[in-house]
Amino acid sequence: NAGVTQTPKFQVLKTGQSMTLQCAQDMNHEYMSWYRQDPGMGLRLIHYSVGAGITDQGEVPNGYNVSRSTTEDFPLRLLSAAPSQTSVYFCASSYPLGQGGNTGELFFGEGSRLTVL
Amino acid sequence: AQTVTQSQPEMSVQEAETVTLSCTYDTSESNYYLFWYKQPPSRQMILVIRQEAYKQQNATENRFSVNFQKAAKSFSLKISDSQLGDTAMYFCAFMKSGNQFYFGTGTSLTVIP
Q: Convert the pLDDT of each residue in B43-100 to its tens digit.
A: 889 999 999 888 889 999 999 999 999 999 999 999 999 999 999 999 999 988 777 8
- In angstroms, the CA B7 to CA A37 distance is 18
**According to the model, what pLDDT value does residue B55 have?**
86
Q: Are A50 and B99 in contact (CB under 8 A)?
A: yes
Per-residue pLDDT band at A41 (split at 50, 70, 90): confident
**According to the model, what pLDDT value does residue A88 have?**
96
Minimal-distance CA residue of chain B relative to A39: B105
Q: Are A27 and A3 in contact (CB under 8 A)?
A: yes
What are the E-state strand segments in B62-106? Answer: 64-69, 74-79, 88-96, 100-103
Contact state of B106 with A90 under an 8 Å Cβ cutoff:
no
Percentage of residues of chain A with pLDDT beyond 70: 93
Q: Are B89 and B105 in contact (CB under 8 A)?
A: no
- In angstroms, the CA B14 to CA B6 distance is 21
Residues of chain B contacting A103 with CB distance shorter than 8 Å:
33, 50, 52
Contact state of A44 with B105 under an 8 Å Cβ cutoff:
no
Closest of A28, A76, A27 to residue A52, by C-alpha: A28
How close does chain B come to A97, measured CA to CA in Å?
A: 6
**According to the model, what pLDDT value does residue B31 have?**
84
What are the E-state strand segments in chain A? Answer: 4-7, 10-13, 19-25, 31-38, 42-51, 54-57, 64-66, 76-78, 87-94, 107-108, 112-116
Residues of chain A contacting B93 with CB distance shorter than 8 Å:
106
- Looking at residue A73, the DSSP 8-state letter turns out to be B
Minimal-distance CA residue of chain B relative to A97: B99
Does residue A55 sit in helix, strand or coil? Answer: strand
**According to the model, what pLDDT value does residue A104 have?**
72
- In angstroms, the CA A41 to CA B101 distance is 14
Interface membership of B43 toward A (CB under 8 Å): yes
How close does chain A come to B112, measured CA to CA in Å?
A: 23
**According to the model, what pLDDT value does residue A37 have?**
95
Q: Are A43 and A58 in contact (CB under 8 A)?
A: no
Per-residue pLDDT band at A101 (split at 50, 70, 90): low
Closest of B85, B104, B82, B88 to residue B41, by C-alpha: B88
